[in-house]
């Protein structure tokens, strides 16, 4: 059995490893591909899982509103799937959410069983009040557009499930 991962905040030198973890998942349309600059701009949102000095997993917490954030780019290397790396990353991201005052966590995923085991439930329709919805419409972030279920992102959706967890 592999060693337990160390979960830590990502640093700029981790961007190459994060991109390497995401690349096969983006090719199979499980995760959205991003340019390197997007990872550098959002590095403070990321946590990585490291085993024996090697980054084997990553995940990000993206704040969308006062009480709402999204789990993004949760990925684990093929060699470490099923060994608790994803769960450890998710727990760290949920703790980050609690520390900054977020009460609801959203995700778009194909891994519904994994997220259900961690307290997420499938949602349909709007998960925010009309006033917040109107404010979120001003965001340029494509993830926010996906959350809002906007028509403009429909052609680009991966066909994944919208899930939510209350902290």
Read off φ and ψ for residue 28, nearest 5 degrees: -90, 10
Distance CA 95, CA 15 (A): 22
What residues does 69 pair with on adjacent strands?
63, 105
Distance CA 33, CA 39 (A): 10
Distance CA 17, CA 55 (A): 6
The helix (H) or strand (E) run that includes residue 61 is: strand 54-65
14-48 pLDDT, tens digit per residue, is 999 999 999 999 998 888 888 999 999 999 999 99
Output the pLDDT for position 127: 64
Distance CA 82, CA 37 (A): 30
84-142 pLDDT, tens digit per residue, is 999 999 999 999 999 999 999 989 888 999 999 999 999 876 666 666 656 656 666 66
> Given a cut of 90, is residue 158 above it in pLDDT?
no
Q: What are the Cα distances from residue 25, in Å, to 74, 125, 137, 148? A: 10, 27, 28, 23
Q: What is the mean pLDDT of the chain?
A: 86
Output the pLDDT for position 119: 97
78-100 pLDDT, tens digit per residue, is 999 999 999 999 999 999 999 99
Output the pLDDT for position 31: 87
CATH superfamily of domain region 6-166: Gcn5-related N-acetyltransferase (GNAT) (3.40.630.30)
Output the pLDDT for position 153: 45
């Amino acid at each position: 059995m592999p060693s337990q991962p160390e979960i830590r905040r990502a640093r700029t030198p981790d961007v190459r490893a994060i991109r390497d973890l995401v690349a096969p998942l983006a090719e199979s349309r499980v995760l959205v591909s991003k340019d390197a600059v997007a990872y550098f701009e959002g590095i403070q949102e990321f946590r990585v899982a490291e085993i024996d000095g090697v980054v084997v997993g990553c995940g990000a917490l993206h704040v969308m509103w006062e009480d709402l954030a999204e789990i993004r780019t949760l990925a684990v290397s093929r060699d470490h799937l099923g060994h608790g790396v994803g769960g450890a990353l998710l727990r760290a991201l949920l703790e980050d959410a609690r520390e900054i005052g977020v009460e609801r966590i959203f995700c778009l995923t194909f891994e519904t069983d994994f997220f259900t085991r961690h307290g997420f439930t499938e949602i349909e329709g709007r998960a925010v009040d009309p006033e917040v919805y109107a404010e979120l419409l001003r965001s340029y972030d494509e993830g926010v557009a996906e959350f809002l279920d906007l028509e403009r992102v429909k052609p680009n959706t991966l066909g994944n499930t919208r899930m939510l967890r209350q902290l």
